[in-house]
């Protein structure tokens, strides 16, 4: 009887809609609060129906801005970011963002327009093979060839994007599919027999890890972004404290464990702390929770954790054993695995000597830089931003030296405060990502820290910030160079600065003012302190142009091809 009633309710809810209205109703059903996009010919039927839909749409000034904004929204809200772009160049302009989201496991649902079904394959105006182009850089992709299938496709797309290992899903909609009509039924259940992510870890593998921990003398946890995706930060802290195991973060994992916790060793990898990298080199048990053993974390694999038994907890089985041989593989959700480990309450290992050694390394090899009178050091700038925001701001960055200084000197104590491009290393990411982050958390203090190079790749999005009056604080770490490129040329290419120096910069303050935005400049610590305090006290967007010491490098550093124990720049 109950089943029959449910069927009758579903039939009653069915209505005939065009494809464009189906899309809008599906977004409402998925509780989508904001979409980012840019109109064009192939998506005009969709935009026409958006006109009086009540759905909040952000018109970015470039499709790359739209998809990075959606990434920022997804990272902070935990909900999928939604993007609409037109066919041809509109679709190809989001390729970078799709790749970025794929590598960093960000849930997106992206709708691209396409030429009419009847002319697909004829090189029609603004036609591009979007499925072919994006297949390797999406978790899944669809092209709608029958409007009756559109509700089912959209529902599957949201399910795929947000379950298992998150990622971007693309739906390509030919223009005629947006105007064709059919019955709209969004109550149907998702049926994907070939897609059944494993969330519950194997109990026997959990027991193996419990036993390995009890016998370890030098255990360490390497925590990645998977902890944040699973909202497992509380369980990570509880487990680390229960077993007294020190914690290291990957770049994208920052915030998953409090930076001020005595068991925290810092970030690992190419620009990680000495303590974190030496802990990975010397440990006898390495527990990877939600990280993919990226090469920037491991350095030379021949020297990575050479004395350790490796356990790897990951929801994506393809990552386990891909780069690092793994003795204890645990496929499952990070939170589920940590809950089971906590419930096991295994014998705590004797780590007193290990913690003593780690604390000695912390004291002897801290992060360091030299302060000089009359000069603004970038490291000091990040420290001041941390101090004046109480370490509670949502921080977005581009990629390069400033990104590494933020990772080193902004001590994230809470999850979902850190928005950066990890795997792809996308310049131009930080500014539009801040738009999405601010819309995801309107009451948060959002600081977008960008380089003078990356800022100029997406600066047109200042128009969106001004239009929506988003109180984002834009910090330009201006060293008049492509900083990380210059650093590598200094160290590895005998100071041949081939096209990495940018002495002829625009006046960023006047540029911001042209967009109707308040802007200030600072060249010393004293000036930086003044403008930071003034900007943070302002409930409006502000651009700050900080002229920092141009020759400053990021240290410590593990050179390409070297092991984590072969860091340079750890002492004067």
Q: Residues with catalytic annotation?
A: 63, 125-126, 175, 484
Our CA angle for 352, 354, 359, nearest 5°, is 95
Exposed/middle/buried for 15, CB within 10 Å: 0-12, 13-18, 19+?
A: exposed
Q: Report the Cα 399 to chain-centroid distance in Å.
A: 12
**CA distance linking residue 394 with residue 440, whole number of Å:** 11
**CA distance linking residue 393 with residue 403, whole number of Å:** 15
Q: What does the block give as tokens for 37? A: 């996009």
DSSP per-residue string spanning 262-279:
TTEEEE-STT--HHHHHH
**CA distance linking residue 194 with residue 197, whole number of Å:** 9
> Phi and psi at residue 278, in whole multiples of 5°?
-70, -30
DSSP 503: -
Give 45's contacts (C-beta < 8 A, 6+ positions apart). 18, 19, 20, 175, 178, 179
**CA distance linking residue 114 with residue 93, whole number of Å:** 14
Q: What does the block give as tokens for 290? A: 């939600």
**CA distance linking residue 151 with residue 185, whole number of Å:** 7
Helix ranges (H only) for 30-62 are 44-50
Q: What are the Cα distances from residue 548, in Å, to 382, 396, 429?
A: 11, 19, 21
SS3 assignment for 277-343 = HHHHHHCCEEEEECCCCCHHHHCCHHHCCCCCEEEEEECCHHHCCCCCCCCEEEECCHHHHHHHHHH
Q: H or E stretch including 56? A: strand 56-59
Nearest alpha carbon to residue 89 among 136, 150, 133, 52: 133
Q: Taking the C-alpha atoms of 246, 252, 257 and 259 in order, what is their torsion angle to the nearest 10 degrees?
A: 90
Q: Taking the C-alpha atoms of 158, 163, 167 and 169 in order, what is their torsion angle to the nearest 10 degrees?
A: -30
Give 205's contacts (C-beta < 8 A, 6+ positions apart). 328, 329, 330
């Amino acid at each position: 009887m109950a089943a029959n009633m449910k069927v009758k309710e579903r039939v009653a809810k069915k209505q005939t809609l065009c494809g464009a209205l189906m899309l809008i109703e599906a977004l409402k059903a998925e509780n989508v609060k904001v979409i980012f996009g840019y109109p064009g010919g192939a998506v005009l039927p969709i935009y026409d129906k958006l006109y009086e839909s009540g759905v909040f749409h952000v018109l970015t000034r470039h499709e790359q801005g739209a998809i990075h904004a959606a990434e920022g929204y997804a990272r902070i809200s935990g909900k999928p970011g939604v993007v609409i772009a037109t066919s041809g160049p509109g679709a190809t302009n989001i390729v970078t963002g799709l790749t970025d989201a794929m590598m960093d496991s960000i849930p997106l649902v992206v709708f691209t327009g396409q030429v009419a079904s009847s002319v697909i394959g004829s090189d029609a105006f603004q036609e591009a093979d979007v499925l072919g182009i994006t297949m390797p850089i999406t978790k899944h992709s669809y092209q709608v060839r029958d409007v009756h299938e559109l509700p089912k496709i959209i529902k599957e797309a949201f399910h795929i994007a947000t379950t298992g290992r998150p990622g971007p899903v693309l739906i390509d909609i030919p223009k005629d599919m947006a105007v064709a009509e059919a019955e709209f039924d969004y109550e149907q259940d998702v049926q994907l027999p070939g897609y059944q992510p494993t969330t519950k870890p194997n109990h026997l593998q959990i027991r193996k890890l419990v036993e390995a921990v009890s016998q370890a003398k030098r255990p360490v946890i390497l925590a990645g972004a998977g902890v944040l995706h699973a909202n497992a930060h509380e369980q990570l802290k509880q487990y680390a404290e229960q077993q007294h195991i020190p914690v290291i973060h990957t770049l994208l994992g920052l915030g998953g464990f409090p930076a001020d916790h005595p068991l925290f060793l810092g970030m690992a990898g190419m620009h990680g702390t000495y303590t974190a990298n030496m802990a990975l080199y010397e440990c006898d048990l390495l527990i990877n929770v939600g990280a993919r053993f990226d090469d920037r974390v491991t350095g030379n694999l021949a020297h990575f954790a050479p004395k350790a038994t490796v356990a790897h907890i990951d929801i994506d089985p393809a990552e386990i054993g891909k780069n690092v041989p793994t003795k204890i593989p645990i496929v499952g959700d990070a939170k589920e695995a940590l809950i089971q480990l906590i419930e096991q309450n295994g014998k705590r290992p004797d780590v007193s000597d290990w913690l003593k050694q780690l604390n000695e390394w912390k004291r002897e090899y801290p992060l360091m830089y030299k302060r000089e009178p009359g000069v603004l050091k970038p490291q000091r700038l990040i420290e001041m931003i941390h101090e004046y925001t109480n370490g509670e701001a949502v921080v977005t960055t581009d990629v390069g030296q400033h990104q590494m200084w933020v990772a080193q000197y902004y001590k994230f104590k809470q999850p979902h405060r850190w928005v950066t491009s990890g795997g792809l290393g996308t310049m131009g990411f930080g500014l539009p990502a801040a738009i999405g982050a601010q819309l995801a958390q309107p009451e948060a203090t959002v600081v977008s820290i960008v380089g003078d190079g990356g800022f100029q790749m997406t600066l047109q999005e200042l128009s969106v910030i001004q239009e929506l009056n988003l109180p984002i604080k834009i910090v330009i770490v201006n060293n008049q160079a492509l900083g990380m490129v210059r650093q590598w040329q200094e160290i590895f290419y005998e100071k041949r600065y081939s096209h990495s120096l940018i002495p002829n910069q625009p006046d960023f303050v006047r540029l911001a003012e042209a967009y109707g935005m308040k802007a200030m400049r600072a060249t010393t610590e004293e000036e930086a302190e003044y403008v930071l305090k003034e900007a943070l006290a302002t409930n409006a967007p502000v651009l700050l142009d900080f002229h920092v010491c141009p020759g400053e490098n990021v240290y410590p550093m593990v050179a390409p091809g070297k092991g984590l124990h072969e860091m340079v720049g750890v002492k004067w």
